A and B are shown apart, each in its own frame.
Chain A
Amino acid sequence: MTIVELRDVRKVYPLGKVEVEAVKGVSFGLEKGDFVSIAGPSGSGKTTILNMIGCVDRPSAGSVVINGHATKDLKDRDLTTLRHETLGFIFQSFNLIPVLNVRENIEFPLLLGRERVPKKEKAQWIDYLIEEVGLSQWKDHKPNELSGGQRQRVAIARALVTRPEIVLADEPTANLDSSTGEQILALMKKINREMETTFIFSTHDAKIVGLADHVIRLRDGLVTENVRNGKDMGSVVGDLLENSVAEASPASSSGASSSAKSGG
């Protein structure tokens, strides 16, 4: 079942007197329960696409359909409801509310909706999530008392607390060391399997793309590869690793190109 669909999506940002086209006509669909990686180098349009899927930004042209809702037709209030009920967010910089402790941060999205969850049920659910992300000892601590990895675990639990169908994660491991990053990805993958929640995460780290069921590779605002369910996954990861190395070398800043195996 397709849960997210992008149809010829374009996004143009004004930059002074000129317009910059960050996304140049992208189309793809994502299946429910997938662990999706939107991969690509910096400036390829990963975050812009994630923002549009997350209903925090609107496309300049084309359409984004989330769980059957075309976002361009929705008013701000409806988008807010859609974000609250269908989407969960994990941010690169964790974005926890500094004055709330771990438990309160996780509980926070539940306080925003109209639906009233019984107190006991809510408490049990939050405790379960805290247990799942391994922060039982830290539930009364404030974000500034936690490590980066712990903060991202809180963010994961917070993203899951409303039982969303889709969790969006913008470079969730970018601010973490590699070991912690791997732990976070493993946790996300575990929850993905256990709860059948669709995870869509952006990354430019080739090493974590390997965990994905579905990889969408971007370059210069266009989909260059769209590979799902292990088909050609090895080559995609291999290409990404090569590109990562190439990007890191000074001579590779221009001219790198790849052929689209599955176009957008």
Chain B
Amino acid sequence: MPVLLRIALRNLLEHKAKSLIIGVLLALGVVILVVGNSFMDTAAKGVKDTFIANYTGNVFVSGKAKSPISLFGIQSVGQMDSTPVLPDYDKVLAKLDAEPGVKLSTGQVTGYALFSPKDSDNQGFAMLFGIDPSSYYKTFDGFTVLQGRLLKPGEDGIVMTQTYLDRMKKDQGWAPTLGDTLLLTGMSKVGFKIRSVTLVGIVRTKNDSDATSFISWVNVDTVRILQGYTLGNDEETPVSADQKALLAATDEDALFGAPTVIETSKKSAAPVVSAAPAAPRPKAVVDQGAWNFLIARTDSEVAAAKAIADLNAYFAKEGIDAQAADWKTAAGPFAQSIDVIRIVFNVAIIIVAIVAVIIMMNTLVISVIERTGEIGTMRALGAPKGFVRKMFLTETLAIAVVFGFVGLLLSFGVIAAIQAAHIQAGNGFLEILFAGKVLNLSVNPMSVAMSLILVALVAVLAHLYPVSLALKVEPVRAMQTE
């Protein structure tokens, strides 16, 4: 065994208390890093897998907007920006489908709506994913139908999640049931729009969570109308003679004179419109090319990255005001929440690392002071400064490696204990992070390696100042101290 390593290991054993202080700090650092990274990786992978499989796919194409745009609309503060329509949809779709590695693609229009059953004051809120069932259910096949069925092409229907209906029932005391006709009230720049749809299916998605359970799937034309994506309206509204007179009126008395179209029922105080039975309203002309997004599933992440790069180059070349991005952009606030947690975790790690460096540095400084005579002796015997530097570095790395592996074993123990505890996600956000109802940590070998390297770096950083002190020890100190 090389003399430096021999001296290093024996010194660690010789100065057990100091070794233990530094070692425990390093081991704890490894535990925090490995368990923390395991949680982060689990959460990141969970969110990624869930969103790619259920909502975002690997490639996300949208129109451009001033604020960040995701599958859930535009993230703007203080104003309601409407999600832009994807320009040149057909060209973009053709280009997307031509990309190697793109397996499946589908379009989507996103909107929000209040919904209420017909003839009821009950109300709920839903995020609407307007879809084309023929391509959407091929792209996202993780639906489990609990009641009814999935949407059929061409029908005005809505599919909701069981999780959301359960939560509504619990929180509001009611929830729509299969077959209910729901009035959807959407608000767009052109005003309020109301459309009725039938609840045709109640489903569960892969890794279904509370946080995304408010998503409902509706036929795309309904969402387009609610969003105001109409080209015009060619319906004829029958007007009675009284209404014609009213419209022809030119003075206020004629306009606000005694009502002539309202009569009061003796049985009910409520006013009743005495109009003739309404004729069925012709549909508005919907802009069939209006899609907010194109979503695609690819063979691999590499294929997705290539497709995104190709598409963005294509948009720039063709002057199409669109952008291609990955699942993270599509997932918007959900992916960002993971990033925020990781940033908080990293900041915490940096603080812990700084504290550890300071404590380790102090301990090593004491060690250098105690070993001044020994260092002086080595220098007097002809040890170059480099030897002293290497000796302390070897000791530092030896302790980092030994206690790094101790920390690693402890980490696996902690992770095993967490697995055994079956920690339940208490809310929807945690369900997203846990990628399910129960925390199921996974260990990423790369994270483990990075944790060990980071801990070794902390140890090396901590030894720099003490070793600079050691290098200042003159050989003459050998003559002065024991």
Contact = CB atoms under 8 A, between A and B. Distances in A.
B245 interface: no
B65 interface: no
A100 interface: yes
B7 A80 contact: no
B394 to A, nearest CB: 13
A109 B382 contact: yes
A104 B475 contact: no
A227 to B, nearest CB: 25
B267 to A, nearest CB: 105
A104 B7 CA distance: 10
Interface in B5-34: 6-7, 10-11, 13-14
Contact of A89 (B3, B10, B380): B380
A112 B7 contact: no
Nearest to A170: B479
Given A100-B7, A108-B3, A113 B382 contact: yes
A112 B476 contact: no
Given A81-B382, A89-B381, A97 B374 contact: yes
Interface in B341-380: 373-374, 377-380
B14 to A, nearest CB: 5
A93 B479 CA distance: 8
A83 interface: yes
A51 interface: yes
Given A83-B380, A95-B482, A97-B374, A56 B476 contact: yes
Contact of A80 (B6, B13, B382, B479): B382
Interface in B445-482: 474-476, 478-479, 481-482
Nearest to B476: A56
Nearest to B9: A99
Contact of A83 (B6, B13, B381, B385): B381
Contacts of A89: 377, 380-381, 478
A100 B10 CA distance: 8
A100 B478 CA distance: 17
B387 interface: yes
Contacts of A51: 476, 479
B272 interface: no
Contact of A91 (B383, B387, B478): B478
B377 A104 contact: no
Given A56-B475, A104-B3, A170-B479, A97 B377 contact: yes
Nearest to A142: B10
A98 B479 contact: no
B377 A111 contact: no
Given A54-B380, A91-B479, A93-B482, A99 B3 contact: no
A82 to B, nearest CB: 8
B384 interface: yes
B381 A109 contact: yes
Interface in A211-239: none
B368 to A, nearest CB: 15
A83 B377 CA distance: 11
Contacts of B374: 95, 97-98
B384 A108 contact: no
A162 interface: yes
B11 A99 contact: yes
Contacts of B379: 56, 80
Nearest to A82: B382
B6 A100 contact: yes
A47 B479 contact: yes
A113 B379 CA distance: 12
B381 A108 contact: yes
A51 B476 CA distance: 7
Contacts of A162: 382
Contacts of B382: 80-81, 83-85, 87, 109, 112-113, 162
Interface in A16-54: 47, 50-51, 54
Contacts of B385: 76, 80
A112 B377 contact: no
A247 interface: no
Interface in B88-117: none
Nearest to B14: A99
Nearest to A94: B482
Contacts of A85: 382
A192 B313 CA distance: 85
B341 to A, nearest CB: 46
A112 B384 contact: yes
B387 A112 contact: yes
Contacts of A108: 3, 378, 381
Interface in A58-103: 76-77, 80-81, 83-85, 87, 89, 91-95, 97-100
A99 B10 contact: yes
24 contacts: A55-B475, A56-B474, A56-B476, A56-B478, A57-B476, A76-B385, A80-B383, A83-B475, A84-B383, A89-B377, A91-B479, A92-B479, A95-B374, A95-B377, A95-B380, A97-B7, A97-B374, A98-B14, A98-B374, A99-B6, A99-B7, A109-B382, A111-B3, A170-B479
Given A85-B382, A99-B6, 16 more contacts: A54-B479, A55-B475, A56-B474, A56-B475, A56-B476, A77-B384, A89-B381, A95-B374, A97-B7, A97-B378, A100-B10, A108-B3, A108-B378, A112-B387, A158-B381, A170-B479
Interface of B: 3, 6-7, 10-11, 13-14, 373-374, 377-385, 387, 474-476, 478-479, 481-482
